[in-house]
Amino acid sequence: TDPGRDPSARDIQTIVSLARERGLKVYLLASIKHKTSSAEFWNNAVSNPVAWKEWFDNIQDFYLSVGTLAKSVNADGLILGDEEISSIITESNNTEALRSSYPADAYAKWNDILVQTKNQFGGKTLLGIHYDDFQFFDVNLLEPVDGIYLLNLGRISDSIGSIQSYSDGVAKKLDDVLGPALMETGKLVWIGLDFPSIESSYKGCVELSGRCQIPSVLNFPAPFQPELKTSHDQQTALYNASLPEENRRPWITGVVSRRFNILGNYQDQSASVRGKPAADVVWYWFSTMTGIPTH
């Protein structure tokens, strides 16, 4: 962890207490980070069984620690996995070090990690999977946990469109890809909405410096990116397209507005809806979907 940017256990306890005072539920999300970039880490990784054992041991220790923390602060739930872990679980990461040496017994290793972490925490536990990785995902890996948290909906459209065209794109993903695989599992299904405030938000990633990057690259306090055209209208349109579609499908049990900035209202390019027009859409659908009046 980075003491300058990551909260301590005491900080997390304080945040959880403040959230509970406001009637909120709290889920902790275990997300890994590298001292360098993810790509640099894997490109320099040593590819042999000993190195992989060490890596899996470190992941297990980290998840167990977060499970212990979640239990100690009485969190309502725990989410394991992020965009990077998703690409490793599903073997969709194209880095040579991964493709050439990924352990043959990786499924068993992940299953064991999930079982142990779930038991350590004892509460509701979800596995985070990126939409683009879902086609490679073995849903049997959900057996040890309570459900899946789709980290995003991927590319909604190939070009700027209307709310209706975006709705059609979302509906197709839900009905043709996610629903058939998840409806009969009996597991919780949460959908993450991760739309940055840029004109190309419909692409499902941030095209920056010649690469398709995850929206966290725009998280506060990231600098303004002049090569990206800021658009709160596009973010709002995508929320207006997504939330009604998710509300119509009873097998979807939760929706998350990702990267919400608790620090304040910023008219930036991030995916946070706070202080932006999309927040009004979330406000309306929260009440509609939960039956809880909003103020």
Instruction: Mark whether 116 and 168 lie in a shared domain.
Output: no
SS3 96: helix
Residue 23 has pLDDT above 70, yes or no: yes
Residue ranges making up the domain that contains 247: 152-295
For 185-211, how does the pLDDT look when each residue is reduced to its tens digit (9 = 90+)?
999 999 999 999 999 999 999 998 888
Alpha-carbon distances of 33 from 37, 291, 292, rounded to whole Å: 8, 37, 36
Instruction: Mark whether 212 and 250 lie in a shared domain.
Output: yes
Considering the domain boundaries, does residue 252 fall inside one? yes
- One-letter amino acid identity for 66? V
Considering the domain boundaries, does residue 198 fall inside one? yes
| Domains of the chain: total | 2
- One-letter amino acid identity for 10? R
For 263-295, how does the pLDDT look when each residue is reduced to its tens digit (9 = 90+)?
889 999 999 999 999 999 999 999 889 888 776
Counting residues of the chain whose pLDDT is more than 90, the rounded percentage is 75
Instruction: Mark whether 114 and 236 lie in a shared domain.
Output: no
Distance CA 93, CA 276 (A): 34
Which pLDDT score, from 0 to 100, does residue 48 have? 82
245 with 254: CB under 8 angstroms?
A: no
Instruction: Mark whether 100 and 206 lie in a shared domain.
Output: no
SS3 199: coil
Instruction: Mark whether 117 and 161 lie in a shared domain.
Output: no
Which pLDDT score, from 0 to 100, does residue 3 have? 56
Name the β-bridge partners of 30: 80
Domain stops at, among 110, 125, 140:
125
Instruction: Mark whether 171 and 113 lie in a shared domain.
Output: no
Instruction: Mark whether 69 and 179 lie in a shared domain.
Output: no
Cis peptide leading into residue 221 (ω within 30°): yes
What the block records as the tokens of 108 is 């068993």
Instruction: Mark whether 161 and 96 lie in a shared domain.
Output: no
pLDDT (mean) for 67-95: 93
Considering the domain boundaries, does residue 136 fall inside one? no
pTM: 0.93
Instruction: Mark whether 56 and 165 lie in a shared domain.
Output: no
Instruction: Mark whether 234 and 111 lie in a shared domain.
Output: no
Distance CA 278, CA 238 (A): 9
Beta strands in 87-193 (DSSP E): 124-129, 147-150, 188-193
Instruction: Mark whether 181 and 118 lie in a shared domain.
Output: no
Considering the domain boundaries, does residue 146 fall inside one? no
- CATH label of the domain that carries residue 38: 3.20.20.80
Distance CA 200, CA 159 (A): 8
Confidence tier at 45 by pLDDT (50, 70, 90): confident
Instruction: Mark whether 121 and 158 lie in a shared domain.
Output: no
Domain stops at, among 107, 125, 143:
125
